[in-house]
Amino acid sequence: MHWIDWMIVILFILLMMAGALYTRKYTRSVADFLAANRSAGRYLLAVAGGMASIGAISILGYFEMYYQGGFSIAWWGLMALPTNIIIALSGWIVYRFRQTRAMTMAQFFEMRYSRRFRIFAGSLCFLSGILNYGIFPAVEARFFIYFCGWPSAINILGLNISTFPLVMATILSISLFLIFMGGQISVIISNFIQGVFTFVVFIVIIVVMFRIFNWAQISEAVQIAPVGASLINPFHTDKVKDFNFWFFAILVTGQFYNFMGWQGEQGYYCSAKSAHEAQMAQILGKLRTMATLLMFIIVPICMYAVMHSAGFASQAERINNTLAGMDNAYIRSQLLVPVAVKMFLPVGIVGAIFAMMLAAAFSAHESYLHSWGSILIQDIVMVLRKKPLSQESHIKLLRVSIGGVAVFAFIFGLVFPLKDYIFMWFAITGAIYLGGSGAVIMGGLYWKRGTTAAAWTAMIAGAILSVGGIIIRQIDPEFPLNGQKMYGIGMLCCIILYIGVSLLNRKPSFNMDKMLHRGKYAVESNSADGIINGKSIKLWVLKRLGITEEFNRRDKLIYFGSLLWTVLWFGGFIVGTVYNLTNEVSDRTWLKFWYVYLVITFVTLVAFTVWYSVGGIVNIKDLFRRLDVMKRDAHDDGMVREQVKNPEQPVETFIKLTEKQEKEKE
């Protein structure tokens, strides 16, 4: 890279580190380290939380997926719009979870089910998480090595050191620094900086791509795809093996079934300053999702044109020569798009995309390291220990655990050979925990008859099905059921088991009001502006839509704007699907549609970037103001304590459950 490119990268890293250092003075308690003391605003969470889910490995996965399926994948992705907006507008899961005031999902499991189940679920979540996360450093390191053209080894003080582990260690070390400075406060601030920078780079890359490649070149290339694997017409994709209709059908189902089930960003689930603010962050995040996916579509499509058009034959040959040195077909698939795109980027843009990938890598590492390290301590070690630690010792233990997860990922990346697409590996490893957790979370938050026995049954069944799938895929990569399909089978089995076992129970129903801090158990900070038992909304229809007294005029505008945006796009999807099933639509017509789609989503991406960036800066000022004057509660450390006083008052002493109480809960 040119020295200008390196200056962009260095300045970006220094900016992130400065932001992390600044947050150090605000981290004074376990609640600060784990949940930013529940003080973050909607825009800050929408940008930072969104960035946490767009890791560098996810970007490579999107490149891989859209290169295989093109615009057709974007069409089936529209199926997810109603699910996303229903989840966001209704406050599905996120509102009630925030009401519990739990810091981890497994802490909620102890409140709802039992301590033993919390330990089991926490262990399963941790195992699933670190296996899923284990490939992150390796995949990202290969990207940076090939993107920059670095040699396989470098000489340091006379020693020949492999570049691959050196790059992995560097990425992990910087990520640990960003976490250790301020815990979740530092994670949120650095992820926000990374998010704003990344969205700006998205816009720049899209503009550059369309200056280099005109629409005629792209149109010509995507029309030469094999029969049955169209990159334009989603109804001519019967030969697409993995990223097809069923992949997205299961994905959509899983988004509803397992919303907030995956704990890779669990720190964000409990960081909002109120349940309403958490709901609004979800609405804003979902509203922006389709626009941010635009870059992941444009770049692979342009690179497909390069690899399949006669006009780019010389560039395609150079790309193939570069990839020829990779023995693993899956690694070649992961790196084809980033290796190809570098050949077309001017000075400055190369550095920007390098920094963007670093930002995406750091954001995912920060969130995942923080999550899995925290879950190990909060949901396993501290629960087994039963006695609380001092604030300083507790935070130190969390840092040690987070560092241990980084060491595991480093070793795993060195020895594990990935034999599947990135997103397929995500699906099958995630299903170790997600197969059963969706039924357990939904049942625990919304069904007072859900039982502990049902939770155990669903979680164990989901784990067994997923582990079996991992073993089969490693033995036989050509097994007809891919990771996504096995995940879908697991979800269905676990729902049936949870409902069936719960219906066999004859004991009294669970006290939902106490767990959700409602009625006489209400806690003021659970509601925006201290509203707890205000008058219900007058209009019945608004109440049924989830609009409460906490919604001001601006909130309602965002709510209905999100609803209108979704209805328009999903309405077009339904009409288009019905028409295509009854009529033959030409590729030329589809190309016109995709051109309009790209223009609209680009305009919204620019608008959302400006809007969310300004809102996030305002939220950061509010976050620091709240943290500066907030009185810390030493007992707010993620441990479940039995209340011996008035349930509306804070508990002052740690009371462990007796064996009799534990058996009764079981």
User: Is residue 154 within a helix (H) or strand (E), and if so which, with residue range?
Assistant: strand 153-156
Q: Which domain holds residue 38?
A: 3-665
Q: Which residues contact 656 (CB under 8 A, 6 or more apart)?
A: 386, 642
Considering 271-275, 351-355, 411-415, 614-618, the range whose residues carry the highest mean pLDDT is 614-618
Residue 293 vs residues 252, 289, 296, 451: alpha-carbon distances, Å: 16, 6, 5, 40
pLDDT-derived band at 336 (thresholds 50, 70, 90) equals: confident
pLDDT computed for residue 546 by the predictor: 62
Asked whether the predicted pLDDT for residue 643 surpasses 60, the reply is no
3-class secondary-structure state, position 47: helix
Q: Give the C-alpha distances (Å, rounded to integers) separating 22 from 27, 189, 274, 317.
A: 10, 10, 24, 48
- The pLDDT value recorded for residue 187 is 92
Amino acid at 326: M
For residue 173, which phi and psi values (nearest 5 degrees)? -65, -45
Which of these, 181, 161, 152, 192, lies nearest to 40 by C-alpha position? 192
What's the confidence (pLDDT) of residue 242?
59
Question: Which pLDDT value is given to residue 151?
Answer: 86
Which stretches does DSSP call E strand in 169-287? Answer: none
DSSP state of 272: B
Element (H, E) at 160: strand 159-162
Question: How high is the pLDDT of residue 541?
Answer: 54
Per-residue pLDDT band at 519 (split at 50, 70, 90): confident
Q: Which of 195, 193, 192, 190 is CA-nearest to residue 24?
A: 190
pLDDT on residue 634: 79
- Please report the pLDDT score of residue 607 as a whole number: 92
Nearest to 454 by CA among 435, 440, 438: 440
**CA–CA separation, 56 and 362 (whole Å):** 8
Helix axes 163-212, 391-415, angle to 10 degrees: 80
Rounded mean pLDDT of 458-479?
A: 77
pLDDT digits (tens, 9 = 90+) for 372-400: 999 899 888 888 887 888 888 999 999 99
Amino acid found at 12: F
Amino acid letter, 300:
P
> What average pLDDT does the segment 637-658 reach?
44
Would the pTM of this model clear 0.85, i.e. be above it?
no
**Residue 77: pLDDT band by 50, 70, 90 thresholds?**
confident
Average pLDDT of the chain is 82
Let me know if 343 is exposed, middle or buried by CB neighbors in 10 A (0-12, 13-18, 19+).
middle
C-alpha angle 176-431-71 in degrees, rounded to nearest 5: 85
User: In the prediction, which pLDDT does 657 show?
Assistant: 40
Task: Output the six-digit token pair for 26.
Answer: 């605000």
Tokens of 536: 């219900």
Q: What is the pLDDT of residues 247-278, one digit of tens each?
A: 677 777 777 787 878 888 888 888 888 888 88
In the predicted model, is pLDDT for residue 531 greater than 70? Answer: no
Nearest to 494 by CA among 526, 450, 535: 450
Q: What 3 state SS string does 168-189 have?
A: HHHHHHHHHHHHHHHHHHHHHH
Domain CATH number, residue 233: 1.20.1730.10
Residue 645: pLDDT band by 50, 70, 90 thresholds?
Answer: very low
Rounded Cα distance between 611 and 47, Å, is 11
Residues in the chain: 666
pLDDT digits (tens, 9 = 90+) for 12-63: 999 989 988 999 999 989 889 998 988 999 999 999 988 877 778 888 888 8
Indicate the number of domains in the chain: 1
Q: Which residues pair with 272 in a beta bridge?
A: 40
pLDDT tens across 153-203, in order? Answer: 888 777 888 899 999 999 999 999 999 998 999 999 999 999 899 889 989
pLDDT score, position 239: 65
Write down the pLDDT at residue 544: 57
Q: Picking from 184-198, 487-501, 540-554, 605-619, which range would have the lowest pLDDT averaged per residue?
A: 540-554
pLDDT for 536-584, tens place per residue? 434 555 665 667 677 888 888 888 888 888 888 889 989 998 999 889 8
pLDDT confidence band for 420 (50 / 70 / 90): low
pLDDT of residue 150: 87
Percent of the chain residues past pLDDT 70, beyond the cut: 87
- Which two three-digit tokens encode residue 253? 């189902």
Q: Tell which wins on pLDDT, 662 or 184.
A: 184
Whether the predicted pLDDT of 597 surpasses 70? yes
Mean pLDDT of 295-313: 86
Instruction: Report d(CA 434, CA 417) in Å as an integer.
Output: 23
- Alpha-carbon gap, residue 53 to 365, rounded angstroms: 10
DSSP labels for 420-456?
S-HHHHHHHHHHHHHHHHHHHHHHHHH-TT--HHHHH
pLDDT confidence of residue 636: 80
3-state secondary structure of 253: helix
Cα distance between the two ends of the chain = 60
- Which has the minimum average pLDDT: 157-166, 324-333, 530-539, 614-623? 530-539
pLDDT band per the 50, 70, 90 thresholds, residue 231: confident
pLDDT above 90 coverage of the chain, percent: 25
Residue 613 confidence (pLDDT) = 94
The band of 408, judged by pLDDT with boundaries at 50, 70 and 90, is very high
Helix (H, G, I), strand (E, B) or coil at 240: coil
Can you tell me whether residue 222 is helix, strand or coil? helix
Rounded distance, CA 272 to CA 103, Å? 11
∠ Cα 254 256 257 (to 5°): 60
Angstrom distance (rounded) from CA 505 to CA 1: 65
The CB-based long-range contact list for 571-575 (8 Å cut-off, 24+ gap) reads: 572/78, 573/75, 573/78, 573/79, 573/81
pLDDT of 216 higher than 60: yes
CB 636 within 8 A of CB 39: no
